[in-house]
Amino acid sequence: MSRPPRGASVSAGSRPVAAAIRSNRRRSQRAATGDTTLDTPEDPSTKPADTPEPPQRRRRSGGWQAAKSASRRQAILDAALECFVTLGYARTTSERIAERAGVSRGAMVHHFPTKQGLVQAAIEHLCAKRIESFRAGISAIGDARDRAERGLDAYWAHLNSPQFAAFQELVVAARTNPELDEVLRPATARFEREWYRAACDIFPEWQKDRRLFDLAMDLTQFLLEGMALNPLTAQSEDRVERVLRYHKDRLREILLSADQADDDLSAVERFRRRSDAG
């Protein structure tokens, strides 16, 4: 059989023959040099497989994404509260919130597909921030003897914060907005329950007479919030300070009444025990 001329193409049928010739030539060369390695095709099982991503790394990546998403969501809610304060509820739009939060419109829609959902989440976020602010303020009081007076000062400072300004704006807007009122009313009720619980935790000495404690709480809330709702009145520092001093005196009287009631109950209990013993 004649060899094809140099440079001519090899037909498909002759390719296995050519491969066998080359393989025999390589074996002859290895035999001449003492190399006894078998000329076997590479075992696919010996190839390094693609190493899967470690579960820990996947969890870390997923945790980072979740943290980023939560941070972006909080930025949107904070921006919504800022818009309520600076622009008013009526002028607050999704576009302005997204601009203030530094996110795209698509990111806004991803987290809050509807305006009602955004408003409801913002109100819940606001209530949580108010409770956090109130607890932080009264927790710093410690075991001071004038705890009631300092607690009143802490609550007055809270009522002059941006959080209460945002709440005030929502209350005014809800008066003529039934949809907003439907969301704000139950959220406010939950806030007041948390506020009351926080005050009970911080001022256990007031629990001697819950009736007097409730009276002190209502007086403080209605009086101070009424002043905070009227910025023109609050601008007169002398008037505000005079009212605060008067209310602090009343709180001391209420606390003394609670102490006296506790002493009276103790005296009655001691008398009953002596009578039973006799």
Q: Is CATH 3.50.50.60 correct for 62-113? A: no
pLDDT at 98: 94
Tokens of 23: 């393989």
Quick one: pLDDT at residue 124?
Answer: 94
d(CA 164, CA 231): 12
Cβ neighbours for 250, distance < 8 A, ≥ 6 positions apart: 219
The one-digit pLDDT tens for each residue of the chain (278 residues) are 455 555 444 444 555 555 555 655 665 555 555 544 434 444 545 445 555 555 555 555 568 888 888 889 999 999 999 999 999 999 999 999 999 999 998 988 999 999 889 999 999 999 999 988 888 887 777 666 777 888 899 899 999 999 999 999 999 999 999 999 999 999 999 989 988 888 888 788 777 788 988 999 999 999 999 999 877 655 678 888 999 999 999 988 888 887 675 554 454 454 455 556 65
